[in-house]
Amino acid sequence: MKPLNLIPIKPNLDFIGRRKLFFVFSALLILASAVLFGARDLNYGIDFQGGILIEVRVDKAGRLSEMRTELSNLGLGEVALQEFGAPTDILIRIQKQEGGEKAQQAAIDKVKATLGAGVEYRRTEFVGPKVSEELFRDGVLAVALAILGILIYIWFRFEWQFGLGAIIALLHDVFTTIGIFALTGIEFNLSTVAAILTIAGYSINDTVVVYDRVRENLRKYKTMSLYELLNNSINETLSRTVMTSVTTLLALLSLYILGGEVIRGFSFAMIWGVIIGTYSSICLAVPLLLYLDVNRGTARVKSDKEVAEEAAS
């Protein structure tokens, strides 16, 4: 079987030359994310906001508006109903009730009494105010610690310039992911935090691969201009970057389309993350090195000679 080369081995695209375009584009993305986040906030799920979520399956389609009227008359504050994947599946979200944890249980009982026996309860979730605060705090802490952990690792393995560049790219990915959630209004919950952490891991994975090549080339080509060297490094690793993004996206698309409604928000975040993570590794993380005064003497990788000697031994 003859293999197919989707990407030429060294496409020689001038990424570094277009860096200003990328920087402006990314700055706009982050700005837009910040504005969206400030203007409409995120659609926090009950994990972070507290409240009640009930998923029911009814025997025939078209009961949505009838149920909506019934449930809004219960005096439980904001009650949102939506179809969930199928016309017979309905997701009911009820805001946090005044009066502590007991009041929430009373609200669940009221809803179940109103809907009667003709429905199948597929999911009942309730998160009290105490727990939702803790989950939110833990979520923020987890993302911050993950970024810190990754930063420290990069710091150990590379020079500080690389660590800084990687972290800027990483923060860019995290902020724009939050921005896309503000834009689309997709529910932001615990699994979204899981997705953000995975995006962080994935994006840094991409960045590390390109940086590794930069480090190697710094060692190899002492006299080449940094501009050319960075461009070469991106181009040499470009086919790998694209390949891995494509396989990951194939798997994620399959999950998004076939994995069911419960996991859809998560797969959406991941798909976005893979795209933005790949972009930021190539178009931000590497060009940034141009401004970060990369030390060209101490970066250490095996030279060709060393590799050859090892192979011979």
Partner 1 sequence: MVYFSKWKISIILGIVFLGFAFAAPNLLDRQSAESLPGWLPNEQVNLGLDLQGGSHLLLEVKVSAVVRERLDSLVDGIRIALRKDRIRYTGLGSRGEVATFMVRKSSELEKAKGLVQGVEQNLEVLGEGNRITISYTEQALRNIKNSAVNQSIEIVRRRIDETGTREPTIQRQGQDRILVQVPGLDNPERLKRLLGKTAKMSFHLLDRKGSIAEALQGRIPPGSMLLASVESNAERGQPQYYLVRKRIAVGGDRLIDSQPSFDSRTGEPIVNFRFDTLGGKKFADVTKKNVNRPFAIVLDGKVISAPVIREPILGGSGQISGNFTISGAQDLALLLRAGALPAPLTILEERTVGPGLGADSIAAGKIASIIGLILVVIFMVVTYGIFGIFADVALLVNMVLILGGLSLLQATLTLPGIAGIVLTIGMAVDANVLVFERIREEVRAGRTPISAIDAGYSRAITTIIDANLTTLIAALILFYFGSGPVRGFAVTLSIGIVSSMFTAIMLTRLMVVAWIKTRRATEVPI
CB of 48 to partner 1, least distance (A): 13
**Closest approach of partner 1 to the CB of residue 208, in Å:** 5
Residue among 181, 211, 209, 210 at smallest CA distance from 195:
181
State the minimum distance, in angstroms, from the CB of residue 313 to partner 1. 11
Rg of the chain, C-alpha, whole Å: 25
d(CA 74, CA 118): 19
What is the three-class DSSP state of 222? Answer: coil
Pick 19 or 207: Cβ nearer partner 1: 207
Q: What's the closest the beta carbon of residue 244 comes to partner 1, in angstroms?
A: 4
Of the pair 30, 151, the CB lying nearest partner 1 is at 151
Q: Which is nearer to partner 1, 34 or 212 (CB)?
A: 212
Smaller CB separation from partner 1, 70 or 212: 212
Per the document, the length of the chain is 313
Considering the complex, what minimum distance in angstroms separates the CB of residue 27 from partner 1?
A: 25
Distances (CA, A) of 131 to 7, 143, 144: 49, 18, 20
In the chain, the N- to C-terminal Cα span, in Å, equals 34
Q: Which of 212, 182, 210 minimizes the C-alpha distance to 279?
A: 210
Shortest spacing between CB 38 and partner 1, in angstroms:
26
Is the CB of 49 or the CB of 267 nearer to partner 1?
Answer: 267
| Nearer Cβ to partner 1 (27/243) | 243
Residue of 96, 172, 178 lying closest to 133 (CA atoms)? 96
CA distances from 72 to 2, 92, 106, 114 (A): 64, 11, 15, 11
Measured from the CB atom, the residue of 253 and 275 that comes closer to partner 1 is 253
Q: How far apart are CA 122 and CA 56, in angstroms?
A: 5
Distance CA 291, CA 218 (A): 15
Kindly state the smallest distance separating residue 24's Cβ from partner 1, in Å.
Answer: 28
CB 42 within 8 A of CB 177: no
Strand partners, 120: 57
